[in-house]
Amino acid sequence: MAIRVLVVDDSAFFRKVVSEILATDSSIEVIGTANDGQEAIERTQELKPDVITMDIEMPVMDGITSVRKIMEVRPTPILMFSTLTTDGAKATLNALDAGAADFLPKRFEDISKNKEEAKRLLCERVRILGSKRAHVHLRKPVAEKKESAPAPARPASIKAPTLSDYDIVAIGTSTGGPVALQEVLTKLPADYPLPVLLIQHMPASFTPSFAQRLDQQCEITIKEAIDGDVLKPATAYLAPGGKQMTIEDKKTSKVIRISESKPGQTYKPSVDITFKSIADTESINTLAIILTGMGADGCEGARELKQNGATVWAQDEDSCVVYGMPAAVAKAGLVDLVLPLSNIGDTLKGKE
């Protein structure tokens, strides 16, 4: 059965372009369109699509408000189209907070310089979000601030790590990652004894805003990593979009190196590249965590980390937006502990 899609945009031209691209995939059927957020809500209730593509800036009702209301009345996987600007980044992060599952640049040349590749990637995203084989977890909108109910208690069978056994925590994620990272990192106390590396698939124009947002929400310090950063406790370093983050072991410190991505590297930043650089530095004892995301980035890096004695955790299927990256490390037999998202932050605090 074809994946049924509702296309929402105030531009008739863009609705036509998206619809025509999706129509080239025999597994996708565009069942309708809407030209503003309010009409999107009405059409969603009427047509019951499997996936919605949504613009952010629209008349009558904007995309963020529409996402929030759709997730209240009929939760549906929503793919946002975003401009790659600072304002676009902030709006997209707000849309993800409201419940959207994923986003793509609105300018197809920003997805890929190859037009056919950009079209393929759009269809692929829609197929994954609409596939019953790929587990899509539909969330309620997250709270603006940390005034939510206490997290569920950690099951007695889950033992917290002894943090003195580790030098670093490294977290890799993709689709669903912005909300998942917020959920995990807001649990860590201001005196957290370890540095944290964050590798989130995200465009270069988004990572500064995302780091700033996390820093405002968390007790630990969150910053976009820059070349030469010396790793410090209670600080999380977000890999800059479009580049690669690696670790260099100096005699007295661990230093971050930021480099340009090489041709052929699919993910920018790549979890595999960061993980492998840590594995190459045998003196670093690592706790690696794979959160929600499409694909298998991080699996090979986790394999190399395991060979050097690292501990690997993975988010469980039920709490993932898309169970791709965690599934890859689990199927490869590399995982020491599988946890629901709500328990990861509390468990990461370590033993009292």
By the 8 A CB rule, do 291 and 326 touch?
yes
> How far is the C-alpha of 11 from the C-alpha of 13, rounded, in Å?
5
Of 114, 95, 97, 109, the closest CA to residue 52 belongs to: 95
By the 8 A CB rule, do 126 and 79 touch?
yes
> Among the listed ranges 154-168, 171-185, 211-225, 246-260, which one has the minimum average pLDDT value?
154-168
Residue 318 has φ and ψ, to the nearest 5°, of -60, -30
By the 8 A CB rule, do 237 and 231 touch?
yes
By the 8 A CB rule, do 220 and 190 touch?
yes
Confidence at 137, pLDDT banded by 50, 70, 90:
low
Task: Select which of 9, 10, 25, 201 is catalytic.
Answer: 201
> How far is the C-alpha of 265 from the C-alpha of 246, rounded, in Å?
14
Report, as an integer, the average pLDDT of 247-275. 92
By the 8 A CB rule, do 129 and 51 touch?
yes
Q: Where are the beta strands (DSSP E) in the chain?
A: 3-8, 28-34, 51-55, 78-82, 102-105, 168-173, 196-200, 221-224, 235-238, 243-249, 254-260, 286-290, 311-315, 337-339
Q: Taking 90 as the threshold, does the pLDDT of residue 326 lie above it?
A: yes
Percent of the chain whose pLDDT exceeds 90? 78
Model pLDDT for residues 73-112, shown as the tens digit of each residue: 999 999 999 988 878 899 999 999 999 999 998 887 777 7
Q: Is 174 in the active site?
A: yes
Q: Taking 90 as the threshold, does the pLDDT of residue 39 lie above it?
A: yes
What is the per-residue pLDDT for 147? 45
What is the per-residue pLDDT for 136? 53
Of 227, 198, 228, 226, the closest CA to residue 213 belongs to: 198
What is the per-residue pLDDT for 50? 95
Q: Taking 50 as the threshold, does the pLDDT of residue 306 lie above it?
A: yes
Report, as an integer, the average pLDDT of 52-63. 96
pTM of the model: 0.90
Q: Taking 90 as the threshold, does the pLDDT of residue 139 lie above it?
A: no
String of DSSP letters for 298-341: THHHHHHHHHTT-EEEEE-GGG-SBBSHHHHHHHTT--SEEE-H
Would you say the CATH fold of 163-348 matches that of 3-130? yes
Residue 176 has φ and ψ, to the nearest 5°, of 90, -5
Task: Select which of 36, 167, 272, 297 is catalytic.
Answer: 297
CATH number of 163-348: 3.40.50.180
**Residue 161 per-residue DSSP state:** P
Q: How do the domains of the chain map onto residue ranges? A: 3-130, 163-348
What is the per-residue pLDDT for 155? 56
Model pLDDT for residues 145-187, shown as the tens digit of each residue: 444 445 455 555 577 888 999 999 999 999 999 999 999 999 9
> Among the listed ranges 191-200, 297-306, 342-351, which one has the minimum average pLDDT value?
342-351
Model pLDDT for residues 127-136, shown as the tens digit of each residue: 999 985 445 5
Q: Taking 80 as the threshold, does the pLDDT of residue 70 lie above it?
A: yes
What is the per-residue pLDDT for 15? 96
Task: Select which of 66, 82, 174, 205 is catalytic.
Answer: 174
Tokens 């619809």 correspond to 19
Mean of per-residue pLDDT scores for the chain: 90
> How far is the C-alpha of 60 from the C-alpha of 100, rounded, in Å?
19
Q: Taking 70 as the threshold, does the pLDDT of residue 202 lie above it?
A: yes
Q: Which CATH number fits domain 3-130: 3.40.50.150, 3.40.50.2300, 3.40.50.10860, 3.60.10.10?
A: 3.40.50.2300
Report, as an integer, the average pLDDT of 10-21. 96
Q: Taking 90 as the threshold, does the pLDDT of residue 13 lie above it?
A: yes
Torsion of CA 34, 35, 41, 47, to 10 degrees: -10
